[in-house]
Amino acid sequence: MERRDFIKKSMGTALAIGALSNVSATGIQGFYDITGSENFKELKLHRFDGIEFTSVKLNYPRPVGLNAIRGPHGSGPTDTVVTLKTDRGASGWGLMRTNTQQSKAAFEAMKGKPITDFFTVEKGVFNDTAKSFDIALHDLAGQIFKKPVYQLLGPNKPFVAPCYSGMIYFDDLDQPTEKAGFDKILEECQYDYNYGYRQLKVKIGRGNKYYQGEKGLKRDIDITKLIHKSFPDCDILVDGNDGFNVKGIIEYLKGIGDLPLFWLEEPFAETVEDYKILREFTKTNSRIKHYADGEANTNIDLVYQLGDQKLIDVCLADIIGYGFTPWLYLMPVLKNKKLLASPHNWGSQLKTFYTIQLVGALGNTPTIEGVTCTSDDVDFGDYKLVNGKYTPSNAPGFGLKLIKKNV
């Protein structure tokens, strides 16, 4: 699907026309004939020649526990990644948007054909056959042109955004006493602070599944206040994972009083009606800088409705589930609507790195979701988190290397 078609289908013709004025500023130039460009000529020389699948293990610095709707999140994912190879010796790799079997079948239709039948720097992935390889193709182009992805998309100097720790879950609930639970949360916050984060996202919604009555709400309030008091130079973000109703989240906000929140994320399953009630309350009763939604069961049309009515201001669609190329089309429309973007990255630090490159090119992001990991299978390169901001790698592609070679 061509980018023009994607925008028309997703946003409507009127919005698409409005978005075009922002395209050149973001470096996305897929709206004219690019077959004579040097980028196109170089990519056309490369034909798909091979594919490999590799299992890589990523490790969280600690086991991650419960949130408002899900059980323990474990110690880190084992991901299958794909490497694409060309007949001229180039290769690029990354997470896939479909499973291995579907990706194998797609590659059979691509083998022996030029990259430009499916992907160009200017358009991204424009043929649905190759949609699973969105990340790998951007990495491959970076390797061929010896540029980081953010430079492929436009700017020579990246936009550098803040990055928050997204790993403050309900790990207090596994402890023998309330005090031990609070100490556990502070220990985790301290680790993240020492790692370089200056924003901490705190999961809330303990009353949804784990406590009866007011006990869960009180624990949410007490932990939020404790983190704010203990880390006064950090922004606090809270995430309800749709575990509240509108009355419950208002009670939580009453409980934390004038404590400032950098953002409130997914307090309840989003509707225009409930957000209107919440925002009416927060006009005079809270200090929330951003309202972020659209991660779970992403509905971009609903995100637009909420944004148009000034009920939310940050879109959270997943960087892999929604797609890297679709995000490149979505961003100009969000800018046009004066909405910000923070792609959802939870699960893998690879996703964090992909988003850092996206944001490095396009900006328009108040903060990036950080998922701290180590790995014996992947070299994370020269990404740097200093005083809460992540600088993207300047190495070709996404700046990540596979260490594990076996398939």
Q: How far apart are CA 191 and CA 203, in angstroms?
A: 17
What pLDDT sits at residue 212?
83
What is the average per-residue pLDDT within 146-155?
95
How many alpha carbons lie under 13 Å from residue 378 in its C-beta half-sphere? 27
Q: Which residue has the higher pLDDT, 370 or 34?
A: 370
Does domain 3-146 correspond to CATH entry 3.30.390.10?
Answer: yes
pTM for this one?
A: 0.92
Mean pLDDT of all residues belonging to the chain = 91
| Average pLDDT over every residue of 108-118 | 98
Would you state the pLDDT for residue 52? Answer: 97
Tell me how many helices (H) and strands (E) the chain has: 13, 17
Instruction: Decide yes or no: CATH 3.20.20.120 for domain 161-402.
Output: yes
Give pLDDT, residue 154: 86
What's the pLDDT at 79? 95
Give percent above pLDDT 90 in the chain.
87
Between 18 and 161, residue with greater pLDDT = 161
**All structural domains of the chain with their residue ranges:** 3-146, 161-402
Question: In this predicted structure, what is the pLDDT of residue 38?
Answer: 80
Q: Is it the case that residue 7 has pLDDT exceeding 50?
A: no
Distances (CA, A) of 63 to 59, 230, 359: 9, 22, 28
Q: What is the pLDDT of residue 26?
A: 35
What does the alpha-carbon distance between residue 362 and residue 360 come to, in Å, rounded to a whole number?
6
pLDDT interval class at 406 (50, 70, 90): low
- How confident is the model at residue 285, as a pLDDT? 87
Q: Name the helix (H) or strand (E) containing 334.
A: helix 324-336
Model pLDDT, residue 264 = 98
Enumerate residues 6+ apart whose C-beta is below 8 A from 350.
Answer: 58, 79, 81, 94, 95, 378, 400
Q: How confident is the model at residue 35 (pLDDT cuts 50, 70, 90)?
A: low
Q: Are 332 and 19 in contact (CB under 8 A)?
A: yes
